[in-house]
A = this chain, B = another copy of it.
Amino acid sequence: MINPSLKINELRQQPIGVFDSGLGGLTVVNQLMNQLPGESIIYFGDTARVPYGTKSSLTIQRFSVQIARFLQQQGVKLIVVACNTASSVALEEIKESVTVPVIGVIEPGARAALRESATKRIGVIGTSATVSAGKYEAVLKSLDSSVEVFSRACPLFVPLVEEGWIDTPVTEEVAAIYLKPLMGKNIASLILGCTHYPIIKATIKKVVNGNVQIIDSAIETAVEVRNTLQSHKIMNESSHLPEHLFYVSDFPQKFEEIARRLLGRPLVNVHRIALDNSI
């Protein structure tokens, strides 16, 4: 029983909790809205402390657990860790800190990549913390020990997306520099291991070989969320319109512009909230 204080019918109508280090997880929210239009969503973006991708595991774990507990307090029926960095280094700590099901973005992305990779040669790109943690490689190898994984950190992609340099010569040049070592490995698929990266998918496609399948974890994660809701029998089947509520820890510079780009529509119903914590 996920939440003993709620009857199953009430639980079904509870929102899905989604969190990210900042606004990148809105690409996952976009997919959830598309694939699960009846579900309410509560999002938390830790915009006061973003980015996580360059920070230590200890700090990422502390921040992530704090946010997961906040979402559980809001009554969510399931938590999506819509951040590759937090999914890579803090998923176990998050699962231990709450009683609802927790879904990260690593396993869905890894499964999709395997499905699309006849040669079992898979590339992974992400933040420094995600690549250092090696979680994609570990999950891929646990699913199929014969797979070969080639990873590369691309720390400039997030600032480029947030600067709005989506389809520019500079971004293409940076992508070419980062991806060149992977291209020599004859990979069959490339996992976009950061929620910001789908925004520059077209630029990434330009610099990789044409036959490389690009794997967008956001789409696969939404599929996994649907499957989990079904298996736990907690899909919202009510005819009420869903409610979408967004919390952030800061309203940063360019907030509306970045949020709209990542969510694919204007962001409404947004509140700033302070969580008690220590650095």
Interface presence of A129 (CB below 8 A): yes
Q: Which residues of B contact A53 (CB under 8 A)?
A: 253
Return the contact of A278 from the options B54, B170, B251, B274 (Cβ within 8 A).
Answer: B274
Q: Say yes or no: A163 contacts B173, CB within 8 Å.
A: no
Q: Name the residue among A169, A250, A273, A277 with the largest chain B CB count within 10 angstroms.
A: A250
Q: Say yes or no: B170 contacts A162, CB within 8 Å.
A: no
Q: Nearest Cβ distance between residue A154 and chain B, in whole angstroms?
A: 10
Interface presence of A1 (CB below 8 A): no
Within 8 A of B (CB), among A37-95: 46-49, 53-56, 58-59
The residue in chain B whose Cβ has the minimal distance to the Cβ of A67 is B279
Tell me the count of chain A residues lying within 8 A, CB to CB, of chain B: 39
Oligomeric state, in number of copies?
2
Q: Say yes or no: A170 contacts B174, CB within 8 Å.
A: yes
Within 8 A of B (CB), among A167-204: 169-170, 173-174, 177
A47, B52: Cα distance in complex, Å: 10
Interface presence of A249 (CB below 8 A): yes
A40, B241: Cα distance in complex, Å: 62
Interface presence of A276 (CB below 8 A): yes
Q: Say yes or no: A55 contacts B156, CB within 8 Å.
A: no
A17, B245: Cα distance in complex, Å: 42
Q: Which residues of B contact A273 (CB under 8 A)?
A: 279
Q: Say yes or no: B170 contacts A279, CB within 8 Å.
A: no
A252, B57: Cα distance in complex, Å: 9
Q: Say yes or no: A49 contacts B279, CB within 8 Å.
A: yes
Q: Say yes or no: A253 contacts B49, CB within 8 Å.
A: no
Q: Nearest Cβ distance between residue A206 and chain B, in whole angstroms?
A: 16
A250, B155: Cα distance in complex, Å: 18
Chain A interface residues toward B at CB < 8 A: 46-49, 53-56, 58-59, 128-129, 132, 155-156, 158-160, 162-163, 165, 169-170, 173-174, 177, 249-254, 273-279
Q: List 16 additional A-B contacts (Cβ < 8 Å) besides A156-B159, A250-B279.
A: A48-B55, A48-B59, A53-B253, A54-B162, A54-B252, A54-B253, A54-B254, A55-B253, A56-B252, A59-B249, A59-B250, A132-B253, A158-B159, A170-B174, A275-B279, A277-B279
